[in-house]
């Protein structure tokens, strides 16, 4: 068995992107999310992961324009899932962070997603599970490189 990528088994970026996208989309719907949209859950995830985070930075991270984000935040705030924090040095700036309630909801969402994925992984044969396990470190490094590249591009486009 060869370990390198040769001409006959060239890694297809489009195929990888499509497969990862399908996995992500199929794991997103959860009962715990209730009436929250996928975008609202994404905003909550980013607010928890990066928070407290400036609203403009949050909009860029989740791929929304600031106007759209400003429409979503009040719903999340009213549900008690996020908190706005003022910038003490500049009152025009607002930060967003996940509340304790928001973090508990995300934990339930993650648990549902993990359970769904675990059930499907259990249906794979041992060789398929080993192949996925071996690919995880590479996928994690790739994700971090993509994220670092996104941050670098965001830094060059904002002023």
129 and 74 in a common domain: no
pLDDT digits 0-9 by tens, 70-115? 999 999 999 999 999 988 888 888 899 999 999 999 999 999 999 9
Tell me what the mean pLDDT of segment 29-41 comes to. 91
Q: What is the residue range of 138's domain?
A: 124-159
- 24 occurs within a structural domain: no
- CA distances to 35, 44, 69, 152 from 75, in Å: 11, 11, 10, 31
- Domains in the chain: how many in total? 2
132 and 108 in a common domain: no
Instruction: Spell out where the chain has E strands.
Output: 53-54, 82-87, 90-98
84 and 142 in a common domain: no
112 and 53 in a common domain: yes
**Residues making up the chain, counted from first to last:** 159
Burial of 55 (0-12, 13-18, 19+ CB in 10 A): middle
- 92 occurs within a structural domain: yes
pLDDT digits 0-9 by tens, 125-154? 999 999 999 999 999 999 899 877 665 665
- 151 occurs within a structural domain: yes
39 vs 47: CA distance, rounded Å = 12
Q: What is the CATH number of the domain that holds 72?
A: 1.10.10.10
């Amino acid at each position: 068995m060869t370990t390198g990528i040769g001409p006959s088994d060239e890694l297809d970026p489009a195929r990888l992107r499509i497969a990862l996208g399908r996995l992500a989309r199929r794991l997103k719907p959860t009962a715990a999310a209730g009436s929250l949209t996928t975008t609202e859950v994404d905003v909550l995830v980013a607010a928890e992961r990066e928070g407290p985070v400036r609203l403009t930075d949050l909009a860029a991270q989740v791929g929304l324009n600031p106007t759209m984000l400003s429409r979503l935040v009040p719903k999340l705030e009213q549900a008690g899932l996020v908190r706005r924090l003022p910038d003490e040095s500049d009152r025009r700036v607002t930060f967003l962070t996940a509340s304790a309630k928001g973090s508990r909801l995300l934990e339930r969402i993650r648990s549902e997603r993990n359970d769904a994925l675990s059930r499907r992984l259990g249906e794979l044969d041992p060789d398929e599970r080993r192949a996925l396990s071996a690919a995880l470190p590479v996928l994690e490094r790739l994700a971090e490189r993509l994220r670092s590249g996104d941050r670098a591009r965001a830094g060059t486009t904002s002023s």
